[in-house]
Amino acid sequence: MTTAATDPGEACNNLALRRAARYLGATYDRALAPAGLRATQFSILQKLSAYGEMTIGSLADMISMDRTTMASNLKPLAREGLVTVEPSAADRRARIVALAPDGLSRMKTALPLWREMQARFEERFGQGEAARLRACLDGVLDTGFEPWAE
Amino acid sequence: MTTAATDPGEACNNLALRRAARYLGATYDRALAPAGLRATQFSILQKLSAYGEMTIGSLADMISMDRTTMASNLKPLAREGLVTVEPSAADRRARIVALAPDGLSRMKTALPLWREMQARFEERFGQGEAARLRACLDGVLDTGFEPWAE
DNA sequence: CGCCAATAGGAGCATATGCTCGTATCGTTC
DNA sequence: GAACGATACGAGCATATGCTCCTATTGGCG
């Protein structure tokens, strides 16, 4: 036998989360691949579509991503003409991210793929279970550790 | 008001998972920083400590990580002398990863930090809730999508 | 024995993630 | 209006993640 029964690392909350995130991330990536989008890219376009243009920082906060990470994630999208990143007229420090026409149509192409992936996941995992899991995960963000502070 | 109430993206299982993983990952990283380890690096050393030496692929499977990702994650650890990566005598295709003495002591340094982080998380999130969350996340891995297959 | 599918991995690429440090700007305060 | 702290970023760095294509090796099969 292995020493699995005595492995305390099995109880690591972070490892459990990362494993599941890698797994589901790859699954969603694959589901969205026909539209030429990664799951994260879809999230970005979807948020821009739902909330309209905003600064890089606001967009980053919206999906709990670091500002600098969002900035580099926007580069491939801007290169493909799916989003525009323009200096703000009102505040010249800020750069405003907006969904370009191609980005909107790309998002609309990906939307049914996303919906089908959601449905497939919830079919296997349980619709109520999935909703509870999402609520639970949102609760993790409210534990108040604020790892980004100082 | 925003259009938040009509944002279907709020129900994205993958986004919920990634957000929480980024958040908790940063929190665990910070907790382990005094030991000079990232959370993922700690997981690797911990698994090697619990299960002994193994191939790169086996180690990758153990934490649901891609083989090539594990290979590159091992490089900084090998550079610091925390692990050794040596060709297998039995199978010259395989490379065996083993915990070096420095790696064991580093892991033992990080262990109380990890335990304290676990305790702090479970204090705020709820011990039973955390256990249920981990079980739920393990369940995600059993949905059978196998995103790595062709 | 020779061939071949399967296995284990490396190289190179692209994106993802987030840090530190530095820059530009803004708003307030004296 | 000059100084200063806060805000919004960018650049450069390092690690994380995983893909495709490639090589080396193994084990089985005719």
Is the CB of residue B18 inside 7 Å of nucleic acid strand C?
yes
To the nearest whole angstrom, how far is the Cα of B19 from the nearest Cα of chain A?
5
Tens of each residue's pLDDT in chain B, 150 residues: 444 556 877 899 999 999 999 999 999 999 999 999 999 999 999 999 999 999 999 999 999 999 999 999 999 999 999 999 999 988 999 999 999 999 999 999 999 999 999 999 999 999 999 999 999 999 999 998 888 775
Interface touch B14/A2, C-beta < 8 Å: no
Q: Which residue has the tokens 């091992």?
A: B74
Is the CB of residue A65 inside 7 Å of nucleic acid strand C?
yes
Mean pLDDT value across residues A77-86: 95
pLDDT in tens, A122-138: 999 999 999 999 999 99
Which of A13, A26, A131 lies closest to B24 in CB terms? A13
Interface touch A19/B63, C-beta < 8 Å: yes
Q: Which residues pair with A85 in a beta bridge?
A: A97
pLDDT at B150: 57
Neighbouring C-beta atoms of residue A88, cutoff 10 Å: 12
Q: Which residues pair with A101 in a beta bridge?
A: none
Instruction: Tell me the C-alpha to C-alpha distance, in Å, between residue A108 and each of A15, A29, B101.
Output: 34, 16, 54
Closest CA to A137 of B46, B18, B120, B148: B18
To the nearest whole angstrom, how far is the Cα of A71 from the nearest Cα of chain B?
16
User: A32 CA, C7 C1': separation in Å?
Assistant: 30
User: B76 CA, D15 C1': separation in Å?
Assistant: 9
pLDDT in tens, A89-108: 989 999 999 999 999 999 99
Neighbouring C-beta atoms of residue A45, cutoff 10 Å: 24
The torsion of the CA quartet A113, A114, A119, A124, rounded to 10 degrees, works out to 100
Which residue is the nearest neighbor of C17, CA to C1'?
A69
Could you tell me the pLDDT band of residue A4, with boundaries at 50, 70 and 90? low
Which of B4, B16, B134 lies closest to A138 in CB terms? B16
CATH numbers and ranges of domains, chain B: 14-134 (1.10.10.10)
Which of B43, B124, B129 lies closest to A144 in CB terms? B124
Interface touch B17/A12, C-beta < 8 Å: no
User: B91 CA, C1 C1': separation in Å?
Assistant: 22
Find and list the nucleotides of strand C having atoms within 7 Å of a protein beta carbon. 7-12, 14-20, 24-27
Whether the Cβ atoms of residue A53 and residue A97 lie closer than 8 Å to each other? yes
Could you tell me the pLDDT band of residue A5, with boundaries at 50, 70 and 90? low
Interface touch A143/B129, C-beta < 8 Å: no
pLDDT at A1: 44
Residue to mutate among A3, A13, A37, A120, with most B CBs inside 10 A, is A13
Q: Which nucleotide lies at the shortest CA–C1' distance from B92?
A: D25
Find and list the nucleotides of strand D having atoms within 7 Å of a protein beta carbon. 7-12, 14-20, 24-27
Which residue is the nearest neighbor of C15, CA to C1'?
A73
Interface touch A130/B13, C-beta < 8 Å: yes
